[in-house]
A and B are shown apart, each in its own frame.
Chain A
Protein backbone atom coordinates (compact mmCIF):
# COMPACT_ATOMS: atom_id res chain seq x y z
CA UNK A 1 0.00 0.00 0.00
CA UNK A 2 2.74 2.42 0.99
CA UNK A 3 5.93 1.95 -0.97
CA UNK A 4 9.19 3.83 -0.64
CA UNK A 5 11.47 3.05 -3.51
CA UNK A 6 15.10 4.11 -3.22
CA UNK A 7 14.21 7.36 -1.54
CA UNK A 8 16.91 9.98 -1.04
CA UNK A 9 16.24 13.01 1.08
CA UNK A 10 18.00 16.04 2.46
CA UNK A 11 17.50 17.56 5.86
CA UNK A 12 19.04 20.98 6.43
CA UNK A 13 21.26 20.58 3.38
CA UNK A 14 22.64 17.32 4.68
CA UNK A 15 22.04 14.25 2.59
CA UNK A 16 20.39 12.03 5.17
CA UNK A 17 18.58 9.30 3.28
CA UNK A 18 20.68 7.40 0.77
CA UNK A 19 18.15 5.18 -0.92
CA UNK A 20 15.55 3.88 1.49
CA UNK A 21 13.21 1.18 0.29
CA UNK A 22 10.35 0.18 2.53
CA UNK A 23 6.93 -1.29 2.03
CA UNK A 24 3.88 -1.35 4.26
CA UNK A 25 0.94 -3.46 3.16
CA UNK A 26 -2.63 -2.77 4.11
CA UNK A 27 -3.34 -3.60 7.73
CA UNK A 28 0.29 -4.42 8.50
CA UNK A 29 2.28 -3.22 11.47
CA UNK A 30 5.81 -2.54 10.26
CA UNK A 31 8.58 -1.64 12.63
CA UNK A 32 11.51 0.63 11.78
CA UNK A 33 14.46 0.21 14.09
CA UNK A 34 17.88 1.77 14.21
CA UNK A 35 20.21 3.84 16.30
CA UNK A 36 19.69 7.54 16.88
CA UNK A 37 20.38 9.62 13.84
CA UNK A 38 20.17 6.92 11.18
CA UNK A 39 17.27 8.65 9.49
CA UNK A 40 14.15 6.97 10.84
CA UNK A 41 12.31 10.18 11.56
CA UNK A 42 13.56 11.66 8.31
CA UNK A 43 12.05 8.70 6.50
CA UNK A 44 8.64 9.50 7.95
CA UNK A 45 9.11 13.15 7.10
CA UNK A 46 10.07 12.20 3.58
CA UNK A 47 6.79 10.34 3.21
CA UNK A 48 4.94 13.39 4.51
CA UNK A 49 6.75 15.66 2.09
CA UNK A 50 8.19 17.68 4.95
CA UNK A 51 11.77 17.24 3.82
CA UNK A 52 13.03 17.52 0.30
CA UNK A 53 13.08 14.25 -1.57
CA UNK A 54 16.05 14.32 -3.88
CA UNK A 55 15.63 10.89 -5.39
CA UNK A 56 13.42 7.83 -5.52
CA UNK A 57 9.66 7.56 -5.28
CA UNK A 58 7.01 7.31 -2.65
CA UNK A 59 3.77 5.73 -3.76
CA UNK A 60 0.59 5.21 -1.80
CA UNK A 61 -2.04 2.82 -3.15
CA UNK A 62 -0.30 3.05 -6.48
CA UNK A 63 -0.31 6.82 -6.58
CA UNK A 64 2.96 8.72 -6.73
CA UNK A 65 3.16 11.22 -3.90
CA UNK A 66 5.57 13.52 -5.70
CA UNK A 67 4.04 16.96 -5.89
CA UNK A 68 1.22 16.08 -3.51
CA UNK A 69 1.12 18.86 -0.95
CA UNK A 70 1.39 17.80 2.69
CA UNK A 71 -2.17 18.79 3.54
CA UNK A 72 -3.58 16.47 0.90
CA UNK A 73 -2.05 13.39 2.52
CA UNK A 74 -4.60 13.25 5.30
CA UNK A 75 -7.38 12.93 2.78
CA UNK A 76 -5.51 10.11 1.05
CA UNK A 77 -5.46 8.25 4.34
CA UNK A 78 -2.00 8.94 5.76
CA UNK A 79 -1.79 10.18 9.33
CA UNK A 80 1.34 11.29 11.15
CA UNK A 81 2.10 11.23 14.85
CA UNK A 82 5.43 13.03 15.13
CA UNK A 83 8.15 12.38 17.65
CA UNK A 84 7.49 15.56 19.59
CA UNK A 85 3.77 14.86 19.52
CA UNK A 86 3.11 18.44 18.43
CA UNK A 87 -0.32 18.77 19.84
CA UNK A 88 -1.79 22.24 19.50
CA UNK A 89 -0.94 23.51 22.94
CA UNK A 90 -3.33 26.43 22.99
CA UNK A 91 -6.28 24.46 21.67
CA UNK A 92 -8.35 22.34 24.00
CA UNK A 93 -8.26 18.57 23.80
CA UNK A 94 -11.58 18.60 22.03
CA UNK A 95 -10.41 21.25 19.60
CA UNK A 96 -7.31 19.21 18.86
CA UNK A 97 -9.50 16.26 18.01
CA UNK A 98 -11.73 18.47 15.94
CA UNK A 99 -8.87 19.42 13.66
CA UNK A 100 -8.96 15.83 12.55
CA UNK A 101 -12.61 15.06 12.85
CA UNK A 102 -14.07 17.97 10.94
CA UNK A 103 -13.23 16.95 7.42
CA UNK A 104 -15.29 17.45 4.32
CA UNK A 105 -17.37 14.36 3.70
CA UNK A 106 -17.91 13.29 7.28
CA UNK A 107 -21.42 13.64 8.63
CA UNK A 108 -22.01 14.99 12.13
CA UNK A 109 -23.18 11.59 13.31
CA UNK A 110 -19.97 9.97 12.15
CA UNK A 111 -17.99 12.72 13.84
CA UNK A 112 -19.68 12.03 17.14
CA UNK A 113 -18.91 8.33 16.71
CA UNK A 114 -15.26 9.08 16.10
CA UNK A 115 -15.01 11.32 19.13
CA UNK A 116 -16.68 8.65 21.24
CA UNK A 117 -14.20 6.15 19.95
CA UNK A 118 -11.34 8.40 20.94
CA UNK A 119 -12.79 8.76 24.42
CA UNK A 120 -13.26 5.01 24.70
CA UNK A 121 -9.68 4.30 23.77
CA UNK A 122 -8.43 7.15 25.97
CA UNK A 123 -10.89 7.87 28.80
CA UNK A 124 -8.59 10.50 30.26
CA UNK A 125 -9.15 12.63 27.18
CA UNK A 126 -12.89 12.81 27.80
CA UNK A 127 -12.16 14.00 31.28
CA UNK A 128 -9.79 16.69 30.02
CA UNK A 129 -11.58 17.57 26.85
CA UNK A 130 -11.98 21.26 27.68
CA UNK A 131 -8.47 21.67 28.96
CA UNK A 132 -5.77 23.28 26.88
CA UNK A 133 -3.48 20.75 25.25
CA UNK A 134 -0.42 22.31 26.79
CA UNK A 135 -1.62 21.50 30.30
CA UNK A 136 -1.60 17.76 29.70
CA UNK A 137 1.16 15.50 30.93
CA UNK A 138 3.58 13.90 28.49
CA UNK A 139 1.73 10.64 28.41
CA UNK A 140 -1.63 12.31 27.99
CA UNK A 141 -0.27 14.39 25.14
CA UNK A 142 0.95 11.25 23.43
CA UNK A 143 -2.49 9.76 23.72
CA UNK A 144 -4.03 12.92 22.35
CA UNK A 145 -1.63 12.87 19.42
CA UNK A 146 -2.60 9.32 18.57
CA UNK A 147 -6.30 9.98 19.09
CA UNK A 148 -6.07 13.02 16.88
CA UNK A 149 -4.53 10.92 14.11
CA UNK A 150 -7.28 8.36 14.54
CA UNK A 151 -9.84 11.09 13.88
CA UNK A 152 -8.64 11.17 10.30
CA UNK A 153 -9.83 7.56 9.86
CA UNK A 154 -6.49 6.83 8.24
CA UNK A 155 -5.42 3.78 6.34
CA UNK A 156 -1.94 4.11 7.75
CA UNK A 157 -0.49 5.87 10.75
CA UNK A 158 3.14 6.95 10.79
CA UNK A 159 3.96 6.58 14.47
CA UNK A 160 7.25 8.15 15.54
CA UNK A 161 8.68 6.96 18.87
CA UNK A 162 5.39 6.90 20.77
CA UNK A 163 6.93 5.52 23.94
CA UNK A 164 9.76 8.00 24.21
CA UNK A 165 9.90 9.58 27.62
CA UNK A 166 6.92 7.68 28.92
CA UNK A 167 6.62 5.79 32.17
CA UNK A 168 6.48 1.98 31.92
CA UNK A 169 2.77 1.91 32.67
CA UNK A 170 2.10 4.22 29.76
CA UNK A 171 4.30 2.14 27.51
CA UNK A 172 1.95 -0.72 28.18
CA UNK A 173 -0.98 1.45 27.21
CA UNK A 174 0.72 2.35 23.96
CA UNK A 175 1.20 -1.29 23.23
CA UNK A 176 -2.51 -1.84 23.78
CA UNK A 177 -3.36 1.02 21.44
CA UNK A 178 -1.15 -0.33 18.70
CA UNK A 179 -2.85 -3.70 19.02
CA UNK A 180 -6.27 -2.09 18.95
CA UNK A 181 -5.45 -0.11 15.85
CA UNK A 182 -4.09 -3.24 14.25
CA UNK A 183 -7.34 -5.00 15.00
CA UNK A 184 -9.20 -2.12 13.40
CA UNK A 185 -7.27 -2.79 10.23
CA UNK A 186 -5.16 0.33 10.33
CA UNK A 187 -1.63 -0.11 9.01
CA UNK A 188 1.13 1.30 11.17
CA UNK A 189 4.68 2.27 10.35
CA UNK A 190 6.23 2.28 13.77
CA UNK A 191 9.52 4.00 14.41
CA UNK A 192 10.79 3.02 17.82
CA UNK A 193 13.79 2.74 20.09
CA UNK A 194 11.94 0.28 22.30
CA UNK A 195 12.98 -3.00 20.67
CA UNK A 196 10.88 -5.47 22.68
CA UNK A 197 7.71 -3.51 22.06
CA UNK A 198 8.42 -3.29 18.37
CA UNK A 199 9.22 -6.94 18.00
CA UNK A 200 6.06 -7.85 19.82
CA UNK A 201 3.71 -5.52 18.00
CA UNK A 202 5.03 -5.64 14.47
CA UNK A 203 4.50 -8.09 11.64
CA UNK A 204 7.73 -7.15 9.89
CA UNK A 205 10.70 -5.10 10.88
CA UNK A 206 13.22 -3.01 8.94
CA UNK A 207 16.54 -2.05 10.45
CA UNK A 208 18.21 1.13 9.28
CA UNK A 209 21.75 2.32 9.47
CA UNK A 210 23.28 5.52 8.08
CA UNK A 211 20.38 6.41 5.87
CA UNK A 212 19.69 3.03 4.29
CA UNK A 213 17.81 -0.10 5.18
CA UNK A 214 20.29 -2.79 6.14
CA UNK A 215 18.04 -5.61 7.06
CA UNK A 216 14.45 -6.66 6.97
CA UNK A 217 12.73 -9.68 8.40
CA UNK A 218 9.45 -10.90 9.81
CA UNK A 219 9.21 -10.05 13.48
CA UNK A 220 8.90 -13.69 14.40
CA UNK A 221 12.35 -14.41 12.99
CA UNK A 222 13.88 -11.55 14.92
CA UNK A 223 12.18 -12.52 18.13
CA UNK A 224 13.72 -15.93 17.80
CA UNK A 225 17.20 -14.74 16.89
CA UNK A 226 18.19 -11.35 18.21
CA UNK A 227 21.72 -11.46 16.90
CA UNK A 228 20.93 -9.11 14.04
CA UNK A 229 19.42 -6.63 16.48
CA UNK A 230 22.53 -6.69 18.56
CA UNK A 231 24.64 -6.21 15.48
CA UNK A 232 22.90 -3.05 14.32
CA UNK A 233 21.64 -1.54 17.52
CA UNK A 234 24.20 -2.75 19.95
CA UNK A 235 21.40 -3.48 22.39
Chain B
Protein backbone atom coordinates (compact mmCIF):
# COMPACT_ATOMS: atom_id res chain seq x y z
CA UNK B 1 0.00 0.00 0.00
CA UNK B 2 1.71 3.12 -1.21
CA UNK B 3 0.82 6.04 1.05
CA UNK B 4 0.01 8.44 -1.79
CA UNK B 5 -1.52 11.00 0.49
CA UNK B 6 1.58 11.12 2.66
CA UNK B 7 3.77 11.37 -0.39
CA UNK B 8 1.85 14.34 -1.71
CA UNK B 9 1.90 16.03 1.66
CA UNK B 10 5.59 15.41 2.06
CA UNK B 11 6.26 16.65 -1.45
CA UNK B 12 4.61 19.88 -0.50
CA UNK B 13 6.53 20.06 2.76
CA UNK B 14 9.76 19.22 1.02
CA UNK B 15 9.22 21.92 -1.57
CA UNK B 16 8.38 24.53 1.03
CA UNK B 17 11.34 23.68 3.23
CA UNK B 18 13.52 23.43 0.17
CA UNK B 19 12.64 26.91 -0.98
CA UNK B 20 13.51 28.41 2.39
CA UNK B 21 16.73 26.43 2.50
CA UNK B 22 17.46 27.58 -1.05
CA UNK B 23 17.51 31.20 0.08
CA UNK B 24 19.98 30.38 2.82
CA UNK B 25 22.15 28.25 0.57
CA UNK B 26 22.15 30.85 -2.20
CA UNK B 27 23.54 33.46 0.12
CA UNK B 28 26.15 31.06 1.44
CA UNK B 29 27.31 29.96 -1.99
CA UNK B 30 27.38 33.52 -3.34
CA UNK B 31 29.57 34.56 -0.46
CA UNK B 32 31.85 31.60 -0.92
CA UNK B 33 32.07 32.02 -4.67
CA UNK B 34 33.13 35.63 -4.50
CA UNK B 35 35.23 35.78 -1.37
CA UNK B 36 36.22 32.20 -0.54
CA UNK B 37 34.55 32.60 2.82
CA UNK B 38 32.76 29.60 4.29
CA UNK B 39 30.42 31.49 6.56
CA UNK B 40 29.90 29.36 9.62
CA UNK B 41 27.76 32.11 11.11
CA UNK B 42 25.28 32.13 8.25
CA UNK B 43 22.64 30.24 10.19
CA UNK B 44 23.10 32.60 13.11
CA UNK B 45 22.43 35.56 10.84
CA UNK B 46 19.20 33.78 10.00
CA UNK B 47 18.49 33.33 13.68
CA UNK B 48 19.12 36.98 14.49
CA UNK B 49 16.93 37.95 11.55
CA UNK B 50 14.15 35.86 13.01
CA UNK B 51 14.52 37.56 16.39
CA UNK B 52 14.57 41.03 14.89
CA UNK B 53 11.58 40.07 12.79
CA UNK B 54 9.73 38.81 15.84
CA UNK B 55 10.47 42.03 17.68
CA UNK B 56 9.40 44.15 14.72
CA UNK B 57 6.26 42.10 14.34
CA UNK B 58 5.48 42.64 17.99
CA UNK B 59 5.99 46.35 17.62
CA UNK B 60 4.16 46.96 14.38
CA UNK B 61 1.89 43.99 13.84
CA UNK B 62 2.93 43.77 10.21
CA UNK B 63 4.68 40.70 8.86
CA UNK B 64 5.96 42.60 5.84
CA UNK B 65 7.54 45.35 7.90
CA UNK B 66 9.08 42.66 10.07
CA UNK B 67 10.54 40.99 7.01
CA UNK B 68 11.97 44.25 5.74
CA UNK B 69 13.29 45.34 9.12
CA UNK B 70 15.02 42.03 9.66
CA UNK B 71 16.61 42.07 6.23
CA UNK B 72 17.91 45.60 6.64
CA UNK B 73 19.12 45.16 10.21
CA UNK B 74 21.01 41.98 9.47
CA UNK B 75 22.38 43.39 6.22
CA UNK B 76 23.91 46.18 8.27
CA UNK B 77 25.26 43.65 10.76
CA UNK B 78 26.73 41.76 7.84
CA UNK B 79 28.44 44.89 6.59
CA UNK B 80 29.92 45.48 10.02
CA UNK B 81 31.17 41.92 10.34
CA UNK B 82 32.62 41.79 6.87
CA UNK B 83 34.45 45.06 7.14
CA UNK B 84 35.88 44.46 10.60
CA UNK B 85 36.49 40.76 10.82
CA UNK B 86 36.42 39.27 7.35
CA UNK B 87 38.08 41.80 5.13
CA UNK B 88 41.47 41.23 6.78
CA UNK B 89 41.09 37.60 5.83
CA UNK B 90 40.75 38.06 2.09
CA UNK B 91 43.36 35.96 0.41
CA UNK B 92 43.94 33.73 3.42
CA UNK B 93 42.91 30.14 3.08
CA UNK B 94 39.27 29.09 3.59
CA UNK B 95 40.07 27.16 6.76
CA UNK B 96 41.02 30.37 8.52
CA UNK B 97 37.76 31.97 7.54
CA UNK B 98 35.75 29.01 8.71
CA UNK B 99 37.41 29.31 12.11
CA UNK B 100 36.83 33.05 12.23
CA UNK B 101 33.20 32.74 11.27
CA UNK B 102 32.87 29.96 13.83
CA UNK B 103 34.02 32.40 16.48
CA UNK B 104 31.53 34.96 15.21
CA UNK B 105 28.81 32.34 15.33
CA UNK B 106 29.48 31.72 19.03
CA UNK B 107 29.27 35.41 19.83
CA UNK B 108 26.06 35.90 17.83
CA UNK B 109 24.33 32.96 19.46
CA UNK B 110 25.15 34.06 22.97
CA UNK B 111 24.30 37.63 22.16
CA UNK B 112 20.84 36.53 21.09
CA UNK B 113 20.50 34.64 24.34
CA UNK B 114 21.51 37.73 26.27
CA UNK B 115 19.29 40.06 24.31
CA UNK B 116 16.14 38.02 24.10
CA UNK B 117 16.39 35.35 26.73
CA UNK B 118 15.92 31.63 26.38
CA UNK B 119 12.18 31.45 25.78
CA UNK B 120 10.88 30.70 22.34
CA UNK B 121 9.60 33.67 20.37
CA UNK B 122 6.65 33.41 18.09
CA UNK B 123 6.20 34.84 14.66
CA UNK B 124 2.58 34.64 13.69
CA UNK B 125 1.53 33.41 10.31
CA UNK B 126 1.54 36.01 7.58
CA UNK B 127 -1.42 34.47 5.82
CA UNK B 128 -4.17 32.84 7.86
CA UNK B 129 -6.26 29.85 7.05
CA UNK B 130 -5.91 26.30 5.88
CA UNK B 131 -7.03 24.22 2.97
CA UNK B 132 -7.96 20.62 3.08
CA UNK B 133 -5.34 18.26 1.75
CA UNK B 134 -6.40 14.66 2.20
CA UNK B 135 -6.78 14.17 5.91
CA UNK B 136 -4.85 17.29 6.84
CA UNK B 137 -5.61 20.93 7.19
CA UNK B 138 -2.63 22.35 5.34
CA UNK B 139 -1.83 25.92 6.34
CA UNK B 140 -1.87 28.49 3.58
CA UNK B 141 1.06 30.36 5.01
CA UNK B 142 3.42 27.56 4.09
CA UNK B 143 2.44 27.90 0.47
CA UNK B 144 2.79 31.66 0.80
CA UNK B 145 6.26 31.16 2.25
CA UNK B 146 7.32 29.04 -0.68
CA UNK B 147 6.01 31.64 -3.11
CA UNK B 148 7.76 34.46 -1.30
CA UNK B 149 10.96 32.46 -1.20
CA UNK B 150 10.61 31.90 -4.90
CA UNK B 151 10.14 35.61 -5.42
CA UNK B 152 13.26 36.39 -3.42
CA UNK B 153 15.34 33.89 -5.33
CA UNK B 154 13.89 35.03 -8.60
CA UNK B 155 14.70 38.59 -7.69
CA UNK B 156 18.27 37.61 -6.89
CA UNK B 157 18.56 35.78 -10.18
CA UNK B 158 17.30 38.74 -12.18
CA UNK B 159 19.53 41.12 -10.29
CA UNK B 160 22.58 39.03 -11.05
CA UNK B 161 21.72 38.37 -14.65
CA UNK B 162 20.80 41.87 -15.75
CA UNK B 163 21.73 45.21 -14.29
CA UNK B 164 25.16 46.66 -13.91
CA UNK B 165 25.77 45.51 -10.35
CA UNK B 166 24.87 41.96 -11.16
CA UNK B 167 27.56 41.99 -13.80
CA UNK B 168 30.01 43.47 -11.32
CA UNK B 169 29.27 40.67 -8.88
CA UNK B 170 29.60 37.95 -11.50
CA UNK B 171 32.78 39.43 -12.92
CA UNK B 172 34.34 39.74 -9.47
CA UNK B 173 33.38 36.17 -8.66
CA UNK B 174 35.09 34.90 -11.81
CA UNK B 175 38.25 36.95 -11.72
CA UNK B 176 38.75 39.36 -8.88
CA UNK B 177 41.98 40.79 -10.22
CA UNK B 178 40.69 41.49 -13.69
CA UNK B 179 37.54 42.99 -12.24
CA UNK B 180 39.70 45.46 -10.35
CA UNK B 181 41.62 46.24 -13.50
CA UNK B 182 38.31 47.09 -15.13
CA UNK B 183 37.64 49.64 -12.44
CA UNK B 184 35.15 47.58 -10.45
CA UNK B 185 35.50 48.50 -6.76
CA UNK B 186 36.02 44.96 -5.58
CA UNK B 187 36.17 45.60 -1.81
CA UNK B 188 32.77 47.29 -2.04
CA UNK B 189 31.39 44.44 -4.10
CA UNK B 190 32.55 41.98 -1.45
CA UNK B 191 30.84 43.94 1.29
CA UNK B 192 27.69 44.27 -0.79
CA UNK B 193 27.53 40.55 -1.48
CA UNK B 194 28.00 39.74 2.18
CA UNK B 195 25.23 42.18 3.01
CA UNK B 196 22.95 40.62 0.42
CA UNK B 197 23.70 37.13 1.73
CA UNK B 198 23.01 38.27 5.28
CA UNK B 199 19.78 39.97 4.31
CA UNK B 200 18.63 36.84 2.54
CA UNK B 201 19.45 34.72 5.55
CA UNK B 202 17.52 37.11 7.77
CA UNK B 203 14.53 37.00 5.44
CA UNK B 204 14.47 33.24 5.48
CA UNK B 205 14.62 33.38 9.27
CA UNK B 206 11.48 35.48 9.36
CA UNK B 207 9.80 33.28 6.77
CA UNK B 208 10.66 30.18 8.73
CA UNK B 209 9.64 31.71 12.06
CA UNK B 210 6.03 30.57 11.98
CA UNK B 211 7.11 26.98 11.31
CA UNK B 212 8.83 26.18 14.57
CA UNK B 213 9.25 29.33 16.62
CA UNK B 214 12.39 31.36 17.11
CA UNK B 215 15.21 30.11 19.31
CA UNK B 216 18.94 30.78 19.60
CA UNK B 217 19.84 27.38 18.30
CA UNK B 218 17.71 27.39 15.17
CA UNK B 219 20.63 28.71 13.20
CA UNK B 220 22.90 25.72 13.59
CA UNK B 221 20.50 23.32 11.86
CA UNK B 222 20.30 25.67 8.93
CA UNK B 223 24.05 26.16 8.79
CA UNK B 224 24.56 22.42 8.72
CA UNK B 225 21.97 21.83 6.03
CA UNK B 226 23.13 24.81 4.02
CA UNK B 227 26.71 23.50 4.07
CA UNK B 228 25.48 20.16 2.80
CA UNK B 229 23.39 21.76 0.10
CA UNK B 230 26.15 24.06 -1.04
CA UNK B 231 28.61 21.21 -1.39
CA UNK B 232 26.06 18.98 -3.12
CA UNK B 233 25.09 21.78 -5.46
CA UNK B 234 28.66 22.74 -6.22
CA UNK B 235 30.38 25.42 -4.19
CA UNK B 236 29.87 28.80 -5.77
CA UNK B 237 27.22 27.46 -8.10
CA UNK B 238 24.02 29.39 -7.53
CA UNK B 239 21.68 27.32 -9.65
CA UNK B 240 23.18 24.17 -8.25
CA UNK B 241 22.58 25.13 -4.64
CA UNK B 242 18.95 26.03 -5.33
CA UNK B 243 18.33 22.70 -7.02
CA UNK B 244 20.25 20.86 -4.32
CA UNK B 245 18.26 22.59 -1.58
CA UNK B 246 15.00 21.40 -3.06
CA UNK B 247 16.40 17.97 -3.84
CA UNK B 248 17.75 17.37 -0.35
CA UNK B 249 14.66 18.77 1.35
CA UNK B 250 12.40 16.53 -0.72
CA UNK B 251 14.47 13.48 0.11
CA UNK B 252 14.39 14.37 3.77
CA UNK B 253 10.64 14.90 3.65
CA UNK B 254 10.09 11.53 2.03
CA UNK B 255 12.39 9.87 4.53
CA UNK B 256 10.25 11.32 7.31
CA UNK B 257 7.43 9.08 6.13
CA UNK B 258 9.38 6.04 7.21
CA UNK B 259 11.54 7.25 10.06
CA UNK B 260 11.19 9.97 12.64
CA UNK B 261 11.92 13.54 11.53
CA UNK B 262 14.99 13.66 13.76
CA UNK B 263 16.39 10.69 11.93
CA UNK B 264 15.31 11.86 8.49
CA UNK B 265 18.13 14.36 8.53
CA UNK B 266 20.56 11.48 8.09
CA UNK B 267 19.35 11.29 4.52
CA UNK B 268 20.85 14.69 3.89
CA UNK B 269 24.12 13.53 5.35
CA UNK B 270 24.14 10.46 3.16
CA UNK B 271 23.58 12.56 0.06
CA UNK B 272 26.53 14.69 1.07
CA UNK B 273 28.77 11.70 1.59
CA UNK B 274 27.80 10.16 -1.72
CA UNK B 275 28.32 13.44 -3.52
CA UNK B 276 31.76 13.89 -2.09
CA UNK B 277 32.73 10.38 -3.00
CA UNK B 278 31.47 10.33 -6.55
CA UNK B 279 30.85 13.86 -7.77
CA UNK B 280 32.88 16.11 -5.50
CA UNK B 281 32.41 19.19 -7.64
CA UNK B 282 28.68 18.97 -7.13
CA UNK B 283 25.76 16.87 -8.27
CA UNK B 284 24.15 19.58 -10.30
CA UNK B 285 27.26 20.85 -11.96
CA UNK B 286 28.04 19.77 -15.51
CA UNK B 287 30.92 17.34 -15.59
CA UNK B 288 34.00 19.43 -14.97
CA UNK B 289 36.31 19.98 -17.89
* Chain B min CB distance to A19 (Å): 25
B182 within 8 A of A: yes
B171 within 8 A of A: yes
Cα A178 to Cα B276 with chains together (Å): 49
Known: A86-B175, A88-B174, A91-B174. A74 touches B182 (CB 8 A): yes
* Interface residues in B152-200 (C-beta closer than 8 Å to A): 164, 167-168, 170-171, 174-175, 177-187
A100 near B174 with CB under 8 A, answer no
* Chain A min CB distance to B256 (Å): 38
A172 within 8 A of B: no
B183 near A88 with CB under 8 A, answer no
List the A side residues contacting B185 at CB < 8 Å: 71
List the A side residues contacting B170 at CB < 8 Å: 88, 90-91, 95
* Chain B min CB distance to A76 (Å): 9
Of A72, A79, A99, which contacts B168 at CB under 8 A? A99
A91 near B167 with CB under 8 A, answer yes
A98 within 8 A of B: yes
B174 near A71 with CB under 8 A, answer no
B181 near A73 with CB under 8 A, answer yes
List the A side residues contacting B179 at CB < 8 Å: 71, 88, 99
* Chain A min CB distance to B66 (Å): 35
Cα A223 to Cα B20 with chains together (Å): 68
List the B side residues contacting A148 at CB < 8 Å: 182
Of B171, B178, B182, which contacts A152 at CB under 8 A? B182
A70 within 8 A of B: yes
A74 near B181 with CB under 8 A, answer yes
A98 near B167 with CB under 8 A, answer yes
A71 near B164 with CB under 8 A, answer no
Contact with B along A65-108 (1 / 0, CB 8 A): 00001111111000110100010111100010011101100000
* Chain B min CB distance to A159 (Å): 13
B183 near A100 with CB under 8 A, answer yes
What interface size band does chain B fall in? 10 to 19
Cα A100 to Cα B181 with chains together (Å): 9
Quick one: which of A89, A98, A102 has the most chain B CB within 10 A? A102
List the A side residues contacting B164 at CB < 8 Å: 98, 102
Known: A95-B167, A99-B168. A48 touches B174 (CB 8 A): no
B180 near A99 with CB under 8 A, answer no
Quick one: which of A48, A88, A95, A100 has the most chain B CB within 10 A? A88
* Chain A min CB distance to B158 (Å): 15
Cα A102 to Cα B184 with chains together (Å): 10
B178 near A71 with CB under 8 A, answer no
A50 within 8 A of B: yes
List the B side residues contacting A74 at CB < 8 Å: 181-183
Known: A98-B164, A102-B164. A88 touches B181 (CB 8 A): no
Q: Nearest B residue to A148 by beta-carbon distance? A: B182
* Chain A min CB distance to B235 (Å): 15
B174 near A70 with CB under 8 A, answer no
List the B side residues contacting A75 at CB < 8 Å: 183
* Chain B min CB distance to A145 (Å): 9
B182 near A99 with CB under 8 A, answer yes
* Chain B min CB distance to A218 (Å): 30
A88 near B171 with CB under 8 A, answer yes
B180 near A70 with CB under 8 A, answer yes
List the A side residues contacting B181 at CB < 8 Å: 48, 70-71, 73-74, 79-80, 82
List the A side residues contacting B180 at CB < 8 Å: 69-71
B184 near A99 with CB under 8 A, answer yes
List the B side residues contacting A102 at CB < 8 Å: 164, 167
* Chain B min CB distance to A68 (Å): 11
* Chain B min CB distance to A126 (Å): 19
Cα A80 to Cα B175 with chains together (Å): 14
* Chain B min CB distance to A98 (Å): 6
Quick one: which of A70, A72, A75, A148 has the most chain B CB within 10 A? A70
Chain B residues in the interface with A (C-beta under 8 A): 164, 167-168, 170-171, 174-175, 177-187
Contacts A74-B181, A88-B174, A148-B182 supplied; 5 other A-B pairs, CB < 8 Å: A70-B180, A72-B183, A75-B183, A88-B170, A152-B183
Chain A residues in the interface with B (C-beta under 8 A): 48, 50, 69-75, 79-80, 82, 86, 88-91, 95, 98-100, 102-103, 148, 152
Pull 15 A–B residue pairs with CB atoms less than 8 Å apart, ordered by A.
A50-B177, A69-B180, A71-B184, A73-B183, A86-B175, A88-B170, A88-B174, A88-B175, A89-B174, A90-B170, A91-B171, A95-B167, A98-B167, A99-B167, A148-B182
Closest A-B pairs by Cβ, 10 of them: A74-B183, A70-B180, A71-B180, A86-B178, A80-B181, A99-B182, A102-B164, A88-B171, A88-B174, A71-B185
